Amino acid sequence: MPARSALTLFHVRGIRVGVDYSWFFVLFLVILWLSGYYEEVLGSTGSSSTPYVLAATSAFAFFGSILLHELGHALVAMRHGIAITEITLWLFGGVAQMARDTDSPRAEFRIAAAGPAVTLLIAVACTAVGIGLAGSERGFLDAMVIAEDAELSGPLLVVAWLASINALILVFNLIPAFPLDGGRVVRAIAWKVTGDRNRATSFAANLGQGFSYLFVAIGVLLLLQGAVISGIWLALIGFLLGSSARGTAARTAVTSRLGDMKVADVMDPEPVAISGDTTVERALDEYFLRYQWPWFPVIDSAQRFVGLMVRESADAVPEETRATRLVSETFEPDSSGALQIRDDAPIEALLGNPSLSRFGALAAVDADGVLSGVVTREQVGRALRDALQPPPTGEPA
């Protein structure tokens, strides 16, 4: 999966939407392939720009479909109290990065099913528009299969292709290969049946590894048959699925050793925080210069965590205004909830947390959002080392 996206496109409800550099490569390939496809189907001459316009329109609409798919996941996750740090478009589609894992099979199922549900709606909408453009269901079907006697137009071809590609995305995502959406649905069902998240995750991850081997095998077979691009593409997907599934299985083996350990068990319960009504000058003198930390949690009058005061932001305030400029006017607000975690959450929720990796620590809050501690990467690392340490000789594992 991609790391933090290279370029930011925009923000939606506090979610950063960006693209990885690999996205431009795929965009180029899709436009190049579709332009040849439209030129051949429409019988356009080499000097006509119509095929390229249709190809560019189709490519951007295709990635728009991918983005809507990921926004479906993101919005449902946010309704379940799970922050989304960013959505990234990359070589193999898109990914919505959740700040933590789900805490119930119902939430897992709903979040996993939201993306395919959006894709299904897009396919249905494209089909309805296509039937309207073609004048009949038969006419639209002829456009999708490029029947010899079909009456084809540029807009009809674009809509038909979008309906077809979204139907393909829907089918592919429902394959029960973790971490695809279908695999996450399988995990939710197994979790509900067994009542054990770790067992369900292990089962889904093993299933994902099995499908990854199948994808690689089919990819190699396609290569041997001369379908070079399709073979390489499917083999790469299989490799990435297998890598992700193996990583999930390894992480599950670790979390099973952590037992019922919570964030509160490892956090610092006496955090140093800055009140929002503190001046920037005082924040620099009494906090940053004294403790030499790169950031501090910011709290409001009710002691609720509201965001971070970063040293660079404080330094950027002109010296002549620092005595009157307040921290509440300068800090980085936690509008998405990605910078905090509940103190009663299982410690496994911190594993792979992107904000913990970025800042080195997270604010721990209670059910009312009141700051109750700070948990650092070092504290999580010590807990993991203790959990993975073999028991003394003679004691049961």
Domain boundary among 258, 289, 312: 258
Q: Does residue 397 belong to any structural domain of this protein?
A: no
Q: Does residue 358 belong to any structural domain of this protein?
A: yes
Residue with tokens 């990796």: 357
Q: Give pLDDT tens digits along the chain (397 positions).
A: 555 556 888 888 878 889 988 888 889 988 998 998 898 888 776 567 889 999 999 999 999 999 999 999 999 999 998 888 889 988 778 888 887 788 899 999 999 999 999 999 999 999 999 999 999 998 889 888 887 777 788 899 999 999 999 999 999 999 998 889 999 999 999 999 999 888 999 999 999 999 999 999 999 999 899 888 788 888 988 898 888 888 888 878 777 777 778 889 889 999 999 999 999 999 999 999 999 999 999 999 999 999 999 999 999 999 999 999 999 999 989 877 788 888 988 887 787 777 787 788 899 999 899 999 999 988 888 887 877 676 555 555 4
Residue by residue, DSSP assigns 139-198 as HHHHHHHT-TT----HHHHHHHHHHHHHHHHHHHHTSS-TTSHHHHHHHHHHHHHHS-HH
Q: Does residue 120 belong to any structural domain of this protein?
A: yes
Q: Does residue 184 belong to any structural domain of this protein?
A: no
Q: What is the DSSP letter of 16?
A: E
Are 28 and 156 found together in one domain?
yes
| C-alpha–C-alpha distance, residues 140 and 153, integer Å | 11
Beta bridge partners of 346: 262
Asked if residue 372 lies in contact with residue 269, where contact means CB atoms within 8 angstroms, the answer is yes
pLDDT at 5: 55
Are 286 and 310 found together in one domain?
yes
Are 25 and 160 found together in one domain?
yes
Are 379 and 296 found together in one domain?
yes
Are 244 and 272 found together in one domain?
no
Other Cβ atoms closer than 10 A to 88: 25
Residue 176 CA: distances (Å) to CA of 183, 330, 357: 4, 46, 30
Are 144 and 227 found together in one domain?
no
Q: Does residue 289 belong to any structural domain of this protein?
A: yes
pLDDT at 4: 55
Are 296 and 362 found together in one domain?
yes
Q: Does residue 117 belong to any structural domain of this protein?
A: yes
Backbone angles phi, psi at 96, to 5 degrees: -100, 120
Asked if residue 118 lies in contact with residue 68, where contact means CB atoms within 8 angstroms, the answer is yes
Are 300 and 240 found together in one domain?
no
Domain hosting residue 159, numbered range? 7-174
Q: Does residue 142 belong to any structural domain of this protein?
A: yes
Assessment of whether the complete model's pTM goes beyond 0.85 = no
Q: Does residue 2 belong to any structural domain of this protein?
A: no
Domain boundary among 127, 144, 174: 174
Are 19 and 135 found together in one domain?
yes
Number of domains in the chain: 3
Asked if residue 283 lies in contact with residue 365, where contact means CB atoms within 8 angstroms, the answer is no
pLDDT at 185: 96
Are 15 and 142 found together in one domain?
yes
Are 30 and 165 found together in one domain?
yes
Give the relative orientation of helices 50-79 and 105-134 as an angle to the nearest 10 degrees.
150
Are 378 and 272 found together in one domain?
yes
